[in-house]
């Protein structure tokens, strides 16, 4: 019987599939670090109080990229180029979600609406990241090779999600509720499609590396489509709700260092 834990165990146990998994993860985290650094540098003048938190968010993402690259080094592996069809961040951008890299490369101040769009987009994508890391911790939190790294990343992702909830609620109270609600819904509906497409692409690449049979690949693809069908019908709602988080001011201090990485 195929299980998520068994699938990830198979990927982790093979050097080439592990190499691809960590390379994709490191690339995505590094892109997130760059994006947050640029947003912090260009943040709207009236929202300068957010700058230290955005800087902290970017520093965390950079740290996660270093952690995944360090996991590769521990096995004596080098990163591989990320297949374009697995590039979650860029696929979201191409579908109009978040702030474009072209905008972030300009030395022009962002507007308040830009910052709200960034936060709403982050609330959706951080939900996905937090859910995925929670799953990995549940399965591999005690793993001798991965456990410490994924627990550290999981804690950071929980902080990022709490930060997005808290800041969006504050901005909603300040009169931006309709923009926030509209952006959250648009972002969530696009994100679940991109997540489906990226998941199919990743499983396709993994299947070729690991030599999966056609029936096994078909079962995995059917499972991905089933998750998408559920999320399209109702599951996306979990990505758009806002509530006061248990962790208040979650990004209010400096980034927690990871000296081992």
Whether residue 132 has pLDDT greater than 70: yes
* pLDDT 10s digits, 90-129: 999 999 999 999 999 999 999 999 999 999 999 999 999 9
Average pLDDT score over residue span 230-253: 94
The pLDDT value recorded for residue 208 is: 97
The pLDDT value recorded for residue 259 is: 66
d(CA 235, CA 246): 22
Average pLDDT score over residue span 205-221: 96
Taking the whole predicted model, whether its pTM rises above 0.85 is answered as: yes
In a domain, 249, yes or no: no
In a domain, 135, yes or no: yes
pLDDT-derived band at 81 (thresholds 50, 70, 90) equals: very high
* pLDDT 10s digits, 144-190: 999 999 999 999 999 999 999 999 999 999 999 999 999 999 999 99
The pLDDT value recorded for residue 45 is: 87
In a domain, 250, yes or no: no
d(CA 95, CA 100): 10
The pLDDT value recorded for residue 2 is: 79
In a domain, 158, yes or no: yes
In a domain, 261, yes or no: no
Average pLDDT score over residue span 11-23: 97
- Domain count for the chain, please give it: 1
In a domain, 110, yes or no: yes
227 burial type by CB count under 10 A (0-12 exposed, 13-18 middle, 19+ buried): middle
Query: What 8-state DSSP symbol labels residue 173?
Result: I
The pLDDT value recorded for residue 252 is: 87
In a domain, 259, yes or no: no
pLDDT-derived band at 4 (thresholds 50, 70, 90) equals: confident
Q: For position 64, which CATH number holds?
A: 1.20.1260.10
Average pLDDT score over residue span 216-245: 96
* pLDDT 10s digits, 46-77: 999 999 999 999 999 999 999 999 999 999 99
Average pLDDT of the chain to the nearest whole number: 95
Which residues, at least 6 apart from 82, have a Cβ–Cβ distance to it below 8 Å? 23, 24, 27
pLDDT-derived band at 86 (thresholds 50, 70, 90) equals: very high
The pLDDT value recorded for residue 253 is: 73
In a domain, 256, yes or no: no
- Spell out the alpha helix ranges (H) of 147-245: 147-171, 177-210, 214-233
d(CA 69, CA 247): 29
Whether residue 202 has pLDDT greater than 80: yes
Whether residue 191 has pLDDT greater than 90: yes
Range of 24's domain? 4-239
pLDDT-derived band at 41 (thresholds 50, 70, 90) equals: very high
Whether residue 257 has pLDDT greater than 80: no
């Amino acid at each position: 019987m195929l299980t998520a834990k068994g699938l990830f165990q198979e990927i982790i146990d093979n050097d080439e599939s592990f190499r691809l998994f960590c390379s994709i993860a490191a690339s995505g985290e590094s892109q997130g670090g760059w994006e947050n650094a640029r947003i912090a540098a260009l943040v709207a003048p009236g929202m300068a109080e957010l700058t230290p938190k955005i800087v902290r968010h970017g520093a965390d993402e950079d740290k996660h990229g270093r952690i995944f690259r360090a996991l590769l080094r521990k096995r004596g592996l080098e990163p591989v180029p990320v297949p374009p069809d697995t590039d979650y961040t860029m696929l979201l951008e191409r579908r109009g979600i978040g702030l474009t890299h072209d905008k972030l490369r300009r030395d022009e101040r962002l507007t308040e609406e830009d910052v709200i769009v960034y936060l709403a987009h982050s609330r959706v994508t951080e939900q996905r990241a937090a859910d995925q890391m929670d799953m990995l911790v549940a399965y591999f939190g005690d793993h001798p090779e991965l456990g410490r790294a994924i627990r550290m990343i999981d804690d950071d992702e929980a902080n990022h999600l709490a930060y997005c909830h808290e800041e969006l609620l504050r901005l909603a109270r300040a009169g931006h509720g309709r923009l926030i609600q509209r952006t959250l819904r648009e972002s969530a509906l696009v994100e679940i499609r991109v997540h489906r497409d990226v998941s199919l692409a990743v499983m396709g690449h993994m299947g070729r590396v690991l030599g999966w049979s056609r029936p096994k690949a078909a079962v995995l693809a059917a499972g991905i489509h089933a998750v998408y069908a559920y999320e399209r019908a109702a599951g996306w709602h979990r990505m758009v709700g806002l509530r006061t988080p248990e962790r208040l001011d979650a990004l209010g201090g400096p980034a927690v260092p990871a000296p081992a990485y």
